[in-house]
Amino acid sequence: MTSAEETTATMPNLQNKDADWNAFDPEGYFQHYYGDPHPDDDALTYLAARALRSAASPYRPLDIVDVGTGPSLIPLLAALPVASRLTAWEYAKPNLEWLANELTAPALRPQWQHFWQRVKAAHNLDGANASPTLPHDPLPLLVQSTRLLRGSIFDLPPRTFDAATMFFCAESITASTEEFQSAVSAYIETVRPGGLIAAAFLAGSTGYDVSGRRYPAVAIDTDDIAACLIPRVAALELTPIGLSSTEIRSGYSGALFVTGRIAG
């Protein structure tokens, strides 16, 4: 057995605390997953922005947390048009530093501008490509609205936020099914009753590589997600994104987007 195979074989035993998150390479992750925008991420961005739009009103913007933001502005951009405040709740120090650098850059990268167009499309009720009511450059508003907080998903404050997003976090921080379930519970509980969740989960992932380091994941499917969310989430909607019978893009076979309201 090769060393790479040995690493993969032992991955199911790793819990969250076993992974070296301080060695995580956010720029390597960004280049691999977002350097060339993918249709699956376009779909996710649109679905998340549309779900959040449905939960807000012009008279009451939402206090929104994104859990495990990582090296991505997609969840923040998706929530920006309806947010009174955005909180990026992230544990890995390299990811927090990377996010701070993105927010203080003179301009957004072209990839984020690309995804911003999907957000604008989700806010255009007439079905055109972009909404004229949202700014061409979202960076100033993003900087104004966003705070970065270091914290574990397991330490989220209960019943605090109006809405919560979470893209590829709970299933991508551990190989333990029990830890995955605990992470999802903490995510759900941080939203006030009646509030919205909008989350995406990788399907069939058993781990992933970032700049030569292996990180753990739990292979989950629709039934696993439904078991965590029912009956705690009302009006649950689950949308498959790019599901395939074979592996795509480094260790997973598609994604599952879920949205619903926290039961009172």
Q: Taking Cα atoms as reference points, which of 95, 92, 100, 259 lies closest to residue 188?
A: 259
Tens digits of residue pLDDT in 173-217: 999 999 999 999 999 999 999 999 999 999 888 888 999 999 999
Tens digits of residue pLDDT in 141-159: 999 999 999 999 999 999 9
Residues 6+ apart with CB under 8 A from 123: 49, 53, 81, 131, 133, 134
Task: Determine the structural domain holding residue 120 and report its residue range.
Answer: 3-262
pLDDT at residue 242, rounded to an integer: 77
Concatenated DSSP letters of 73-123:
-HHHHHHGGGEEEEEEEE--HHHHHHHHHHHTSSS--HHHHHHHHHHHHHT
pLDDT at residue 56, rounded to an integer: 82
pLDDT at residue 45, rounded to an integer: 97
Specify the number of domains making up the chain.
1
For residue 203, the domain's CATH number is 3.40.50.150
pTM recorded for the entire structure:
0.91
Tens digits of residue pLDDT in 80-93: 999 999 999 999 99
In three state form, how does the secondary structure of 59-75 look? CECEEEEEECCCCCCHH
| Parts of the chain with a pLDDT under 70 | 1-13, 125-132, 243-253
